[in-house]
């Protein structure tokens, strides 16, 4: 709301785009576009053509959630899987279309919580991406209208290759190949990343290998606090033992961040009862969860009370210093002021002389005017036959002169 009490924008000036018009646009998300079907097939004289929609043309993204790019990749991988099934001659046209539409029903429901956590194991097979996959939610007879063919027998075929539909084994997913320049083992890579994120903490020099992350206890608490301070208060772990710190971290990771624990807090200090592959993969999942995220940064204004308290503590024994208040320095004159001060007396004399000359000229003018008026008055008196004397004319002239002089002084 503006200061005038209305919801109208106070300033309607926007940047100009390449058309010379205000660069502002409005998007209506009250109704979202979604394709009724994701693909269709055309068959003519034995030649088959499959058409698939992907990205925004398949499902319009909702910008505030930022899900458009992710669902675009998912739909592209689903289409690639449909093409893989389509290329197998042991799969019928209706069977491929039915399975593609079954997978399309899940696309609008995808969120980070409804997808597989191990992103590195994603392939074109939807089983590696969708945990609640139902390949038969759409039947073959429901997709007959998606086939445009001149061969009616195709609409009667519903067979599928059962070997191509087996769910892949996801217990030990294959990891992505590392770049040729990254030749460090997994533990050293994870430790290097954690040390870079928590470089300001005092315990970082104590971390020599990846297992020290669990033996220290406070490393995982600090890592969670860096990205999610609402889950763990790092200052509260100051008096906690490593076992208690690990128990707190494991519980938060499992309850809030959906990373299942693979060991207890006591086992994490020894790690002899577990294979290194298990706890390294667990640590890798934690790092992958925060990798690419923006750390939380406290704004200084939020800690104003703490800063004020620290200032009071640090300046408790300091004596007040008033020496700076007593020390006064003469104000230095600028070059302009120095140039004005040098000829001050000369300027004042010239001004006084000009004023004196002006007054003298004005006094002479008034005397001339007063003399003419007195002469006219004397002539008038003489013409009327009154018996005025020369002494009376002199008094009138003196009186008029004194009045004009007083008027001139009051005006100056």
Question: Of 212, 229, 394, nearest to 298 (Cα)?
Answer: 229
> What is the helix (H) or strand (E) element at residue 79, kind and residue range?
helix 68-86
What pLDDT, on a 0 to 100 scale, did the predictor assign at position 275?
87
What pLDDT, on a 0 to 100 scale, did the predictor assign at position 330?
55
Q: What is the pTM of this model?
A: 0.40
Using 50 as the pLDDT threshold, list the residues of the chain that sit under it. Answer: 2, 170-183, 300-302, 322, 325, 335-336, 339-342, 378, 381-390, 408, 412
pLDDT tens string 222-269: 999 998 888 898 888 888 999 999 999 999 999 988 899 899 988 888
Q: What is the tally of helices (H) and strands (E) in the chain? A: 13, 3
CB burial of 380-402 (b: ≥16 within 10 Å; e: otherwise) equals: eeeeeeeeeeeeebeeebeebee
DSSP 3-state of 62? coil
205 is written with which tokens? 């020099």
Residues of the chain with CATH 1.10.418.10: 186-290
What pLDDT, on a 0 to 100 scale, did the predictor assign at position 358?
85
Write the DSSP assignment of 294-354 as a string of letters: PPP---GGGGHHHHHHHHHHHTSSPPP--HHHH---PPPPPHHHHHHHTTHHHHHHHHHHH
Question: Of 138, 53, 34, nearest to 94 (Cα)?
Answer: 138
What architecture (CATH level 2) is domain 186-290? Orthogonal Bundle (1.10)
What pLDDT, on a 0 to 100 scale, did the predictor assign at position 405?
55
What pLDDT, on a 0 to 100 scale, did the predictor assign at position 302?
47
What pLDDT, on a 0 to 100 scale, did the predictor assign at position 181?
39
- Which residues lie across from 147 on neighbouring strands? 41
What pLDDT, on a 0 to 100 scale, did the predictor assign at position 383?
47
**Which residues lie below 8 Å from residue 232, measured CB to CB, with a gap of 6+?**
221, 224, 225, 248, 249, 252
What pLDDT, on a 0 to 100 scale, did the predictor assign at position 297?
63
């Amino acid at each position: 709301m503006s200061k005038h009490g209305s919801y109208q924008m106070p300033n309607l000036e926007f940047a100009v785009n390449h058309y010379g018009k205000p660069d502002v646009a409005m998007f209506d998300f009250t109704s979202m576009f979604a394709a009724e079907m994701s693909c269709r097939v055309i068959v003519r004289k034995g030649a088959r053509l499959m058409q698939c929609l992907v990205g925004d043309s398949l499902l319009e993204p909702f910008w505030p959630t930022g899900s458009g790019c992710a669902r675009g990749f998912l739909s592209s991988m689903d289409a690639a899987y449909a093409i893989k099934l389509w290329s197998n001659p042991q799969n019928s046209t209706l069977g491929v279309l039915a399975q593609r539409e079954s997978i399309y029903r899940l696309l609008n429901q995808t969120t980070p919580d409804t997808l597989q956590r191990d992103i590195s194991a994603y392939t074109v097979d939807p089983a590696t991406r969708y945990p609640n996959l139902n390949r038969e939610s759409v039947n073959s007879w429901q997709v007959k209208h998606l086939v445009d063919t001149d061969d009616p027998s195709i609409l009667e075929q519903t067979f599928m290759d059962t070997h191509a539909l087996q769910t892949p084994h996801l217990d030990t997913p294959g990891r992505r190949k590392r770049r040729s320049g990254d030749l460090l083992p997994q533990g050293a890579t994870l430790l290097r990343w954690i040390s870079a994120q928590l470089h300001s903490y005092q315990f970082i020099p104590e971390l020599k290998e990846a297992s020290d992350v669990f033996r220290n206890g406070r490393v995982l608490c600090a890592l969670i606090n860096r990205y999610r301070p609402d889950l763990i208060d790092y200052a509260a772990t100051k008096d906690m033992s490593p076992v208690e710190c690990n128990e707190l971290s494991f519980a938060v990771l499992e309850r809030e961040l959906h990373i299942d624990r693979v060991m207890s807090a006591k086992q994490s200090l020894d790690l002899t009862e577990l294979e290194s592959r298990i706890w390294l993969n667990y640590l890798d999942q934690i790092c992958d969860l925060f990798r690419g995220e923006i750390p939380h940064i406290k704004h200084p204004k939020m800690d104003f009370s703490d800063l004020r308290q620290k200032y009071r503590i640090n300046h408790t024994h300091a004596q007040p210093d008033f020496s700076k208040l007593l020390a006064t320095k003469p104000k230095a004159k600028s070059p302009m002021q120095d140039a004005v001060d040098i000829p001050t007396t000369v300027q004042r004399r010239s001004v006084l002389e000009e004023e004196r000359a002006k007054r003298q000229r004005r006094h002479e003018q008034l005397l001339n005017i007063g003399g003419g008026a007195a002469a006219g008055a004397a002539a008038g008196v003489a013409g009327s036959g009154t018996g005025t004397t020369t002494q009376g004319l002199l008094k009138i002239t003196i009186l008029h002169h004194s009045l004009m002089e007083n008027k001139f002084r009051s005006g100056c």
